[in-house]
Amino acid sequence: MPSGLYPLHISRNPLLKVLRSSGQAAVEFTLTFLILLIVAWIPADFGLAFYTGQLAQNAAREGARIAAADPTLVSGTVSCVMPSCTGNIFKETAARLSSALLPAATITLDLDPNTGMNCNRMVTVTVSGTYNFFFYQLLRWFGASGDLSNTPITRATRMRWEGQAGC
């Protein structure tokens, strides 16, 4: 058979075969890749939430450690919202938090009142905020209802205050 009589679909040129393909492989790859991306992102998102909780716990622990050694504390509760925290205890606590993972976190410092009966006044530092799961925000873009994206994270540490007179 002369070369001009071959039908187009029997051509021996591999480049023409690629140009004439229907794109099925590209569509299958795209759909499979999206599913694999979702399967990989869900554990990563939960891992970031767990990491955020650990950051909040470490920040509360460090704030309580500094507050326990501060002899100038007065009884009562004081709080601030990041990033506008002032004072050494609040600044050191806020420095250990990620404003990207826990935006507008609230740091609360509480010193027990002086009862005069024992030397066991406690100082408590609490860090609380809301972690925004990215995956749920993505589902909302696709029409899922409900507000599952905001998860509250609260961590507190309580230590004995060393600034007690006569103890």
73-94, pLDDT tens digit by residue?
Answer: 888 888 888 888 888 889 988 8
State residue 16's pLDDT score.
Answer: 62
Percent with pLDDT over 90 in the chain: 26
pLDDT at 120: 86
Write the pLDDT tens digit of every residue in 149-163: 678 999 999 999 988
pLDDT, position 79: 87
With cut-offs at 50, 70 and 90, classify the pLDDT of residue 5: low
Produce one character per residue of 48-78: b if its CB has 16 or more CB atoms within 10 Å, e if not: bbeebbebbbbbbbbbbbbbbebeebeeeee
Q: Over 60: is that where the pLDDT of 1 sits? A: no
pLDDT score, position 54: 95
